[in-house]
A and B are shown apart, each in its own frame.
Chain A
Amino acid sequence: MKDKRLVIYAVISVVLLLSPLFLNAYWVDVLNNVGLYTILALSLNIILGHAGLFHMGHAAFYALGAYTTAIINTTYHIPILWLLPVSGLVAGLAALVVARPIIHLRGDYLLIVTIGFVEIVRIALVNNVFGITGGSNGIFGINRPILFGWKINKPWEFFYLIWGFAAVTIFLFNRLENSRFGRALNFLREDDVAAEGSGINTAHYKLIAFVIGAFWAGMVGNIFAAKMTIIAPESFNFWESVVLFMIVLLGGRGSIRGVILGAFLVLGLPEIFRQFATARMLIFGAFMVAMMIFRTEGILPPLPRKYPIAKMLGREGSA
């Protein structure tokens, strides 16, 4: 069973890896968007899927990362990819400051506070806060990233940058999921009080989850800024946060493969439905409802955690 799944994953990866060879620039760019949202949604998945915190303001951290990159790059001309960790740090730091006082709020109250946060960030950007965000015009003239002397410019070049980043993200987050930390998060998601009782400092863990998610979203903001070369507040409105929220839940909370599939569906379907012109979003909405009705826990919910004791014992026995 496990081997079969591995084969499927390998086939999908290879097809994806080769796809720029037989897709035109438009579809490659669709895949780029899917890739960006995959990474974003995976970072939200840590907060929403694993820690179970209702967070509907993820676009705020994404925006902070993108604006950090844009501002520093256009004023000091520091190469884009050097700013990758800086963008992450700014977003992570913001998450730490913002989340500290609100982390204890119960589900839906946290939801509205995070919505409030993303709106405050957007309004601040629109109103040209500190005179550095360029108001509603946004910031333009952002450089293209240069990787080992290769200037990344064309959609297919971005494709490999983005999906390379996505692969690293998937690997790291998979490790995180199966670490002590990941298990602790799942525990406090299922039962906050019991987790606290078992000696897990829940507020601390929730906060770390928040900061990791925000850090990652900030880094995606960096790549987004470099890809678009212009960023404006509209790209980071509340609706973007809702889209990310939908990706995680549609795919399956806490499931990496589910989230990836969710990103493909939420970003890809409106493109496929383009042939329906003005009715495309109507069909998309109906599709979402139908999907949730038929797969109530998301399309690919996480597999139950398995602890292969037999194997472990067997290994000990043979030793």
Chain B
Amino acid sequence: MKKILFLALALCLMAGTAVAADTIKIGLMAPLTGAWASEGQDMQQIVELLADEINMAGGINGQKIEIVTEDDGGDPRTAALAAQRLSTQGLVAVIGTYGSAVTEASQGIYDEAGLIQVANGSTAIRLSEKGLNYFMRTCPRDDEQGLVAYKALKNGGYKSIAILHDNSSYAKGLADEAKTLLEKDGANIVFYDALTPKENDYSAILTKMKAANPDVVFFTGYYGEAGLLLRQKMEMNWNVPFLGGDATNNPDLVKIAGKEAAAGFMFLSPPVPQDLNSKEAMAFMTAYKKKYNAEPGSVWAVLSGDGLRVVAEAIKATGSTDQDKLVAYMKNDLDNFPGLTGQISFNDKGDRVGDLYRVYKVSADGKFMLQP
């Protein structure tokens, strides 16, 4: 009996999602619950803010946009369902998502549905090497960052290097990429291992790493762990320089580590809007602060905003919502579009092109300073 009720209820819910034809519907797939909920909720805030702005200004070619958000839970199985759900709702494109493995689980589904996906935080190389026509991303790839990390470490003149990752698909990819390049160059990798994310005590790892006596530590994981590592490193009176990957780019890092411990920490990242003096970036910062009374969290959430802006631009320029036309426009004709994170162009694989990465350093008062 309950099962019949369940089915009936399911049917009712589906009936409720009838389509209103006069709006342009754009999907957002984001981790609203689960371990990456902070990123996902930030993505939602930013995309909704930008959509509201576009609608206030009269929409795209007179049509309003409507954002349809689905939770991917930060896990592949939920993401596959979210993708199925989004691909049946008459959308023009889907923005998202954050984790590479999560994006991968949804890629095939969007491609089969002929739906454009603009990922914002998924940097794993292979995502764009499969020849999927409708896949694009506003974030750079791991190999690009690996190269930048290699250069930064080399320019620093470090001889013995410790590399620490967190065994996530993203962090391990970056660590491997940098390790290969550094070893080819004859650098001495004295330590290479993975920590368990979401723990609180990394003193055992730091003690072990200290014994290996590296000149520098390259940590490719996320800001939460990076903050704790810095804090506990200081408590041990260990003064080794730390370099972080782009997942450490989050103001919460300084909060967790404390200003004293965070000072001098360097990381690689695409530039955040705070550091760009373009008209778009400044307008976005003002609007975000006004609406949410805070600064946007990580650059990844901002990149989802860029995803929406790129799609909107393509619809406006082509005057069409045909997926093939839009993809062709974004890959071929969109050139140096002024994004919130610098200029945006895509190559044929759907990857964002250009030298995106910058080196940042945390100043004594906890600010992220863009290094020349």
Touch between chains A and B, by CB atoms below 8 Å: yes
CB-CB under 8 A for A30 and B76, given A136-B169, A261-B2, A272-B10:
no
**Mostly helix, strand, loop or mixed at chain A's interface?**
helix
Partner among B1, B14, B32, B104 whose Cβ is within 8 Å of the Cβ of A277: B32
Residue of B nearest to A30 (CB): B81
- In angstroms, how far is the closest chain B Cβ from the Cβ of A274? 7
- In angstroms, how far is the closest chain A Cβ from the Cβ of B51? 16
A-to-B contact residues, CB < 8 Å: 8, 11-12, 15, 19, 22-27, 29-30, 33, 126-127, 135-138, 140, 155, 228-230, 232, 234-235, 261, 264-265, 268, 271-272, 274-275, 277-278, 280-281, 299
B-to-A contact residues, CB < 8 Å: 1-4, 6-7, 9-11, 13-14, 32-33, 37, 41, 69-71, 75-77, 80-81, 84-85, 87-88, 101, 104-105, 108, 124, 126, 167-169, 172-173, 194
Residues of A contacting B37 with CB < 8 Å?
Answer: 278
CB-CB under 8 A for A228 and B84, given A27-B14, A272-B13:
no
Residues of B contacting A8 with CB < 8 Å?
Answer: 1
Residues of B contacting A23 with CB < 8 Å?
Answer: 10, 14
Bound CA–CA A264/B4 (angstroms): 11
Contact, CB under 8 Å: B3 / A12: yes
Residues of A contacting B173 with CB < 8 Å?
Answer: 137
Partner among A127, A140, A235, A265 whose Cβ is within 8 Å of the Cβ of B167: A127
Bound CA–CA A11/B7 (angstroms): 12
CB-CB under 8 A for A126 and B167, given A24-B14, A137-B173, A278-B33:
yes
Bound CA–CA A140/B104 (angstroms): 9
**Mostly helix, strand, loop or mixed at chain B's interface?**
helix
CB-CB under 8 A for A33 and B81, given A230-B104, A280-B33:
yes
Contact, CB under 8 Å: A137 / B3: no
Contact, CB under 8 Å: A278 / B3: no
Contact, CB under 8 Å: A15 / B4: yes
Bound CA–CA A264/B8 (angstroms): 13
Residues of B contacting A15 with CB < 8 Å?
Answer: 4, 7
Residue of A nearest to B170 (CB): A136
CB-CB under 8 A for A278 and B32, given A135-B172, A232-B101, A232-B169:
yes
Residues of A contacting B81 with CB < 8 Å?
Answer: 26, 29-30, 33, 271
Residues of B contacting A228 with CB < 8 Å?
Answer: 76-77, 80, 105
Partner among A26, A140, A274 whose Cβ is within 8 Å of the Cβ of B84: A26
Contact, CB under 8 Å: B2 / A25: no
Residues of B contacting A261 with CB < 8 Å?
Answer: 2-3
Contact, CB under 8 Å: A33 / B126: no
CB-CB under 8 A for A234 and B32, given A12-B3, A140-B104:
no
- In angstroms, how far is the closest chain B Cβ from the Cβ of A236? 10
Contact, CB under 8 Å: A229 / B3: no
3 closest residue pairs by CB, A with B: A26-B85, A26-B84, A29-B84
Bound CA–CA A272/B8 (angstroms): 12
